[in-house]
Amino acid sequence: MTEEHQGTAVVAKRVDAGEADLVEFRDLARAAGYEVVAEVTQTRKEDPALCLGEGKADELAAVVAEAGAGAVLFDNRLGPYQTFNLGNRLPEGVALVDRFRLILEIFGQRAATKKAQLQVELAELRYELPRAEAKASLAKRDERPGFMGLGEYDESREQDIKRQIAEISDELEAIETTEAHRREQRRESGFDLVALAGYTNAGKSTLLRRLADELDIEENAELHPDLDATAESEDRLFTTLGTTTRRADMGRRDVLVTDTVGFVSDLPHWLVESFKSTLSEVYRADLVLLVVDVSDPVEGIREKLVTCHDTLYERNEAPIVTVLNKTDKVAADELRRKRDALSALAPNPIAVSALDGDGIAELRDRVDDELPPLERERLVLPMCDEAMSLVSWVHDNAHVNDVDYGEQVVVDFEARPSVISRARSKASEMAVEA
């Protein structure tokens, strides 16, 4: 295969019924760095040996040869035997990549943090495990190395994969424990935690930039080591693989908003499970903003909402607000029709344009309404240096309604229960010392 064709690909898909839709998969291919030069589709029941029918498999090989493509990208999950059989029909040197291997390629390219890299490695191992198990099973029965072209059988490989999965899972568990502690520190410091969820390319990163304050990272590095002064905002899939957290302007509240990895359709359980550490930022939030691209066809939005709900409602206890983003791309009457059509899945959504800023004020108000209610407190303190320090701390961690400096200091404020408890404790210590 010549260098100029290594990045070109033919995309293929088989569906049981209806017409094969390759729009999202083409986007995935581009996200992985491929140039799509042709596509081959088929509607029929799956062939156990080839996925496609035999004639269509030969047609695929001919299209690849004519296009001089360097890869075939399959928008299906291919078993190890199907991969081998199809690979034998393709021109020499052509890579064969199924849907989940392609997603793993993208994840691998985007994994910039240790946590993200571990999650990608875990997903790759879980992808490889059934293939190693298949080799082991057939080798034991056939006693011939490389049976059915699956490669030389190494009896230790299956156990090695299982060992690595266990080790990486333990390492990610330790990271999650650290992050859980950080979340509790944030809550104790008066922060509400809001997570952005939704499909990749729905505009979550753009929305984060719209909501967020500029923040001096150095001053917050100890409490918030994952805070980032800039959130990427690009029109491509999987820009956000790890998480980015920024402080947001929500009026009365101190809010930290976390942008999380985007969903993509038809992900197997093992792949979602590999990224549960990242998804824990969603599951453990005080509020989830489920962002969807309202410019998508309504049926596509409905399918995406169902997938997101299946993932989120399984473990999430926080309220979920649907945000219909990209209103700048749809007319007002189209937006009304889509809101009505989606009312069962998104009964009270907020429509915004993260790009233009339309609807952002209403979104901030909705966030304030949906977050756990603030409690009101009034502290009476002696006039002293310690009282001034406490008032300064309350300003940093709560919404102060009024401070009266007379013979005593009276501070009236609203805050999360944990902040009020700490303020009372500090005031009690001051009273004892006085």
Read out DSSP for 124-176?
HHHHHHHHHHHHHHHHHHH--TTGGGS----HHHHHHHHHHHHHHHHHHHHHH
Q: What angle do CA 49, 124, 10 make, to 5 degrees?
A: 50
Domain 375-433 sits in CATH at 3.30.70
CB 250 within 8 A of CB 227: no
Structure tokens at 397: 């961690």
Q: Phi and psi (nearest 5°) for 112? A: -100, -20
Residue 355 counted as an annotated binding residue: yes
CA dist list (Å): 46 to 17, 130, 300, 351, 371: 11, 19, 24, 41, 48
> Annotation-wise, does 261 bind a ligand?
yes
pLDDT at 238: 46
Residue 354's pLDDT is what?
93
Question: Binding site annotation covers 389?
Answer: no
Does the annotation place 427 within a ligand binding site? no
The CATH classification number of 189-370 equals 3.40.50.300
353 known ligand binder: yes
Q: Tell me whether residue 203 is annotated as binding.
A: yes
Q: Dihedral of the CA atoms 402, 406, 408, 411 (nearest 10)?
A: 0
DSSP state of 212: B
Q: Is 283 annotated as ligand-binding?
A: no
Q: What is the pLDDT of residue 277?
A: 60
- Give helix then strand counts, H and E, for the chain: 15, 13
pLDDT of residue 101: 87
Query: Is position 20 annotated in a ligand binding site?
Result: no
* pLDDT value at residue 230: 41
Q: Does 149 appear as a known binding residue?
A: no
Q: How far is CA 377 from CA 26, 98, 431, 433, in A?
A: 56, 58, 17, 22
pLDDT at 269: 63
Mean pLDDT by 10-residue block, N- to C-terminus, for the chain (434 residues)? 62 93 87 92 95 95 95 91 90 91 82 78 85 68 48 69 92 84 73 86 88 50 42 43 75 82 67 65 84 93 85 74 95 96 93 94 92 88 90 86 90 87 86 61
pTM above 0.75, yes or no: no
- Residue 276, classified by CB atoms within 10 Å of its CB into exposed (0-12), middle (13-18) or buried (19+), is middle
| Domain extents in the chain | 3-107, 112-176, 189-370, 375-433
The pLDDT value given to residue 41: 96
Q: What is the CATH number of domain 3-107?
A: 3.40.50.11060
